[in-house]
Chain A
């Protein structure tokens, strides 16, 4: 069963009661909230997600709850909670969706240690994964959004989830937060993309989430092996460059970019070594989508 098969009233009852239990790639999430505005947004943005079987356990239990502040009595605040704990301070109610999504990402980054977690977008084409590791601000979510609307399957805009033993990558197709100017850029370039509300005033400025394509969510159980690693960087006015990257440099960039490399120790050392040895490594500098997509299509055609 999918979220879209509920009526809005049914979803509201579920979210306010025992929780909405949805599959997010290899994880099961339980979400609770009684906020009407957030319920409406989840109804639209989570419509393609499947519900978790009643027999399965949800790894992460998250809630968005109303919060009252003596210092800010006239501002409606909310707070994100995971297993009853609040890792973030309260924020205005308008930021509920962004806070929920960031909170879920934080929980995954902090708690998942059976997989190696790269801070990376990951998409699939021709049966293999293209990893796009990058630092915040490099435009990886924006590029990832363009790719998944041009024939690539979304694994994640935020996490490259690698099984260190098998080398397989797991899809984790979740909402993708575009920030500031990227919102207008994507609205112009991809009018067909489904975006959530613009949420101003967050720590990262204005945010609007992209809903993952239905096919990517429906195929979230299909893992794949990586074949290409491309470190992207958007640079205004730059001519396109897709250059080979020495494997030693790729190793260092990946090892320092992984959330839990040091936790996994030798396992991570072997996994990153194997990953780099088995992939073509490039760095990409671009300023427009058309040329970047053409270059990545050519790379992943083979």
Chain B
């Protein structure tokens, strides 16, 4: 009997122990909970770092490049000079808002770069990171550049070091490269401004016409609207080449417009009115290679609206102008 009593008592104690273990509420503070909060914080900060790299600086690069190019164009407009070195000028304006150490806004008399440089935007995201997430960020811009691989857009490249520190983790990323793209349409052509002291402004807009659809009517529209065209194997310079006096051809990215003789001081010139040839005086001593785009015997051409308009033989062929609409200049 005594042995059975001890056995039942032992069972009862074990069962009670099990009940207590199972139903005791968990403590509020556990190692697991700490791990979860650390994980959540790291995830939040990781999102911040990703946002910086893949969103914030993409938008900043694009917007700042737009302002920098606009400022450089205004600078050329006000000075009537080309840039000596586009890459260094562009990088300096992008990062500091200066050109040769002078605030570009003071030279253009327009507040475009004020509080809008890459340095300004870096400071803003650093401040916002500290205020919002209590994270210490530092950003060092190493290089920023622009180049063209397509005629109608600019490829922007920003290289920087990003470091973000918090009480739980640290991100240290070197040579982070950010890419963005900016359309060239909407900018004023620097060539026109530099060559006319700002008197002739031509805003870049693609004609949109297919290469095999050109005829004299479309040429008339092309001159009237000041639109641009990219020919395969182009002889014209790209948009970025127009910031320096670089008249070399850019086969990938060259764009050209036709100079409107009604908008220049001396409309009758011995030039091809294809812009790159006109401003570079390529045909000024080669009159036999030029054609007046008019034909008094047929009444064709566009001299009724654009008197003295001339083109070189290559352009005549590209724009599909026939003998009905032209006569040789000399």
Query: Do A and B come from the same complex?
Result: no
